[in-house]
Amino acid sequence: MSHILHAILTFILSVEFIIGNLGNAFMALVNIMDLVKRGKISSVDQILTGLAISRITLFWSLLTSLLVSSIYTALMISGKLMIIIKIFWTVTNHFSIWLATCLSIFYFLKIANFSNSIFLYLKWRVKKVVSLTLVVSFLILFLNILVINRCIDVWIDGHGANMSYRAISSNSAQFSRLVLLVNTMFTLIPFTVTLAMFLLLIFSLWRHLKNMQLHAKGSRDVSITAHVKALRTVVAFLLLYTVFFLSLLSLCWNVDFKHKDLIALFSQSMGMAFPSAHSCLLILENRKLSQSLLSVLRWMKCRLKGIWGIS
């Protein structure tokens, strides 16, 4: 039974990896082509492009980490290489999370409607707010790496810098969990910011939706539908982000279960659902991206008809 579950979870991870790479590559390619064609790119497209590129890098860093952890006994991977992989994952995960946070801040300031003077001040300076958020994220990344390097120094002092991965396999698992715990604690910062932004946005959309329903007549039904769609999108994003954060916490949980490997694989598949499914959600909800996707699908349909001789 455990072998079947392992195969199913591995298949799910593989599908998430393929969909995530295709979705993010499509999103980045469309925006880059639009930049080349028009010579300019909007603020939200800049964030989406950066987010897509960071997530593609994150997927490949995760794949590298999984491959190393599964075949290290044959290759005798050194502790130094493992450290490089952990640091690389830290950086890619950081930018993926913080760019998603910048996107949530951008949508909140653009869509939400509050009469508070502080909100209005920030709303008119949304680009500066996003830029400042990115600057702060760089400082947090620097602090995150400092903490991890300190953990690495302590770990190396205890086990030796040139010891093989096999010789310290039991202790390296504890080290990996420690690095993940540090990253999870730093992920708590953008997660809290995003949670606050989207809860406020949900409240604003819900309040505005109630007011529109009370006075809805004729043409306003279209506006109500648009707000309901936006509300569903925000809730879906929040659920995916929450699942991602909970998956990180579960991977840090050091409990000796009978099928610990299966639980870790399940947590990894749940965590990868966020960068994979959210990218698909962004494509479907973005007018330019969804129209480009339809154009690609029509082109593929015509090509297939030509190949198979279907009229």
List the chain pLDDT tens, one digit each, 311 residues.
677 887 888 888 889 999 999 999 999 999 999 888 888 888 889 999 999 999 999 998 888 877 776 665 544 555 667 677 778 888 999 999 999 999 889 988 888 888 888 888 888 999 999 999 999 999 999 999 888 888 777 766 665 544 444 444 455 566 677 778 888 889 899 999 988 988 888 888 888 777 776 765 555 555 666 667 777 778 888 888 888 888 888 877 754 444 567 777 888 888 888 889 989 888 988 888 888 889 888 888 787 776 665 55
Q: Which residues pair with 164 in a beta bridge?
A: 78
User: What sign for the dihedral angle of Cα 257, 258, 264, 269?
Assistant: negative
Who's near 234: CB < 8 A, 6+ residues apart? 107, 198, 201, 202, 205
pLDDT of amino acid 44: 87
Rounded to two decimals, the pTM is: 0.85
103 token code pair: 């996107």
pLDDT of amino acid 57: 93
* Whole-number Å distance between alpha carbons of 214 and 296: 41
pLDDT of amino acid 71: 67
Q: Where on the phi/psi map is residue 76: left (φ > 0), alpha (ψ -120 to 50), or beta?
A: left
Amino acid at 280: C
